[in-house]
Structure 1
Amino acid sequence: MKDKIIDNAITLFSEKGYDGTTLDDIAKSVNIKKASLYYHFDSKKSIYEQSVKCCFDYLNNIIMMNQNKSNYSIDALYQFLFEFIFDIEERYIRMYVQLSNTPEEFSGNIYGQIQDLNQSLSKEIANSMMNQR
């Protein structure tokens, strides 16, 4: 049930943002009572933090899968970028965009994760470009 709550919360947060998503919304999306959410999570904040972690794990996994490939051709780079931009589930992209509207209490941790993700992506692009020479 915990995974289903997070899965549905990602969709809701990606559509409505943190402030626009209520615990009632999350509970209804998984067909449980709001009070039942507290069995799995202690607050909306903890659901959001877990949702953000899941989003970053998903995006980092895509980058890591590409790093495990030994083919660093320009064509492989184009394919990776195309897949990164167009094949990612839309809700993860929307969630990533919503992070710019994250309340102050989350911003430090989230911005650090965004920087880490951007560095991984930049490193992957740089490796591909360097191996073309």
Structure 2
Amino acid sequence: MRKIAPDERRMMREAYAKKVIHVIRIQGFLSLTIQDIAHMMSLSRASLYNYFSSKEDIIMELTNLCIDYINEADQTISNEELSYQLRFQKVFEQTVFSAAYASDIYLTDLKRSCPHLYEKKMQSRKEQLSTIHTFYRNGMKAGVFNDLNTSILIIQDETVLGKLVNTSFLIEEELSLKQALFDYYVAKKTQVLKPEYLENTKNEDVNAMVDCILKKLAAI
């Protein structure tokens, strides 16, 4: 059997883990067997063990993927050299991916079976929320954002975007994910940005931003 180089193994672990995110976010992972997961990865059970030592190892990879993305996004959101409008887009994107990566059922299963990973994920979420709260408060102080309750803004995003990444909801409402994200982003920025700053976003290519998000989601 060909020996797998460490860098290749790391990239393949990530790629294979992404193949099971959609199923796990919908139905959790406690009921899944290694054979189920291998099938979703288009691998034999024996080949799966070339990359993962156990089911928990797969869940660890998924959790770390989520945490790494959040940390990367937090750096952009906290970068005061960037405009508030640009960072507002990043907050939107981050919340979309948080909804796609970590559903309630996934987090419930994580808490039950991998408490150490659950605590790690919750600490990351705590830091994420702190970053977003600070971003909104600073934007309000700077006169860029309307004076709104930051906690309500965050809950609103989590609730709405959690629904929008739910395929069954989109089917019931006869919506495409692209149109749903586009419409919600436009409504959100109208709610948050003061009129003079909203005026400056008229030439903003929302379609391009949403397409970028969809391409990233498709890679999951």
TM-score, scaled relative to structure 1: 0.74
- Over alpha carbons, which structure has the higher Rg? 2
Note the C-alpha offset of 1:26. 1.9
Aligned residue for 1:20, secondary structure, equals: coil
2:100 is aligned with what amino acid? R
Gaps of 5+ in 2: 1-11, 143-220
Q: Does 1:40 align with 2:57?
A: no
Aligned residue for 2:81, secondary structure, equals: coil
* Match of residue 107 from structure 2: 99
Deviation by residue 1:37-84 (Cα, 9 ceiling, x = unmatched): 1111111111111111111112222222211243575x6675454333
* Match of residue 94 from structure 2: 84
Distance 1:70 1:97, change over 3 A: farther
CA contact (8 A) 1:8 1:29 kept: yes
CA distance in 1, matches of 2:99, 2:113: 26
CA contact (8 A) 2:111 2:118 kept: no
CA distance in 1, matches of 2:65, 2:91: 21
Deviation by residue 1:7-35 (Cα, 9 ceiling, x = unmatched): 11323322221212222222112322112
CA contact (8 A) 1:23 1:44 kept: yes
1:22 is aligned with what amino acid? T
CA contact (8 A) 2:27 2:105 kept: no
Note the C-alpha offset of 1:108. 3.2
CA distance in 1, matches of 2:133, 2:81: 14
More helix by share: 1
* Match of residue 119 from structure 1: 127
Identity of aligned residues (%): 22
CA contact (8 A) 1:5 1:26 kept: no
Aligned residue for 1:18, secondary structure, equals: coil
Q: Does 1:54 align with 2:65?
A: yes
CA distance in 2, matches of 1:93, 1:103: 12
CA distance in 2, matches of 1:70, 1:125: 18
CA distance in 1, matches of 2:129, 2:89: 14
In structure 2, which of residues 21, 33, 36 is the aligned counterpart of residue 22 of structure 1?
33
Higher RCO, 1 or 2 (CA under 8 Å, sep at least 6)?
1
Across the aligned residues of Structure 1 and Structure 2, the Cα RMSD in angstroms comes to 2.8
CA distance in 1, matches of 2:42, 2:25: 19
CA contact (8 A) 1:77 1:125 kept: no
Gaps of 5+ in 1: none
